[in-house]
Amino acid sequence: MGDYVYLVFFLFFGVLFPLGGIVTERFLSPKKPDPIKETTYECGIETEGTTWVQFHTRYYLYALVFLIFDVEAIFLFPWAVAYNQLALFGFIEMMIFLAILLVGFAYAWRKRALEWR
């Protein structure tokens, strides 16, 4: 439980230090707003169209596959820590687990779900 005193401190000061920098800057730096200055940068020309574009589904798919393997990786942590006590049974168990996932991975690869197009 004592661990979290440290984390709370780091969280608090981790926010406070950057904030201090920004507050200091507020006193030191000039403040001259200007409509041209506040336009969006687009290589010196006026912005064209809207910023929001529809992105391709492939981003979503990669994120989906990542989520699945992230969950898998989470199971690997307690397994790896307890590996010495688990011995052969643990090894076989994890190999079955990984094999099932690898079937899915191979399927996704084969179906070109992992292809960047």
Residues 15-74 that bind other proteins (CB under 8 A): 15, 17-19, 21-22, 24-26, 28-33, 35, 37-43, 47, 50-74
Closest CB 106 distance from other proteins, rounded Å: 10
What is the total count of residues that contact other proteins (CB under 8 A)? 100
**Rounded CA gap, 12 and 21, in Å?**
15
Please report, for residues 52, 59, 79, the alpha-carbon distance to residue 105 in angstroms, rounded to integers and kept in the order given.
Answer: 32, 17, 21
Closest CB 93 distance from other proteins, rounded Å: 6
User: x/- string (CB under 8 A) for other proteins, residues 88-107?
Assistant: xxxx-xxxxxx-xxxxxx-x
Task: Indicate which single residue of 44, 45, 46, 112 sits in contact with other proteins (rule: CB under 8 A).
Answer: 112
Q: Which of 53, 66, 58, 56 is nearest to 116 (CA)?
A: 58
Closest CB 51 distance from other proteins, rounded Å: 5
**Rounded CA gap, 71 and 9, in Å?**
29
Residues of 74-93 as b/e, b for ≥16 C-beta within 10 angstroms?
Answer: eeeeeeeeeeeebeeeeeee
Closest CB 68 distance from other proteins, rounded Å: 5
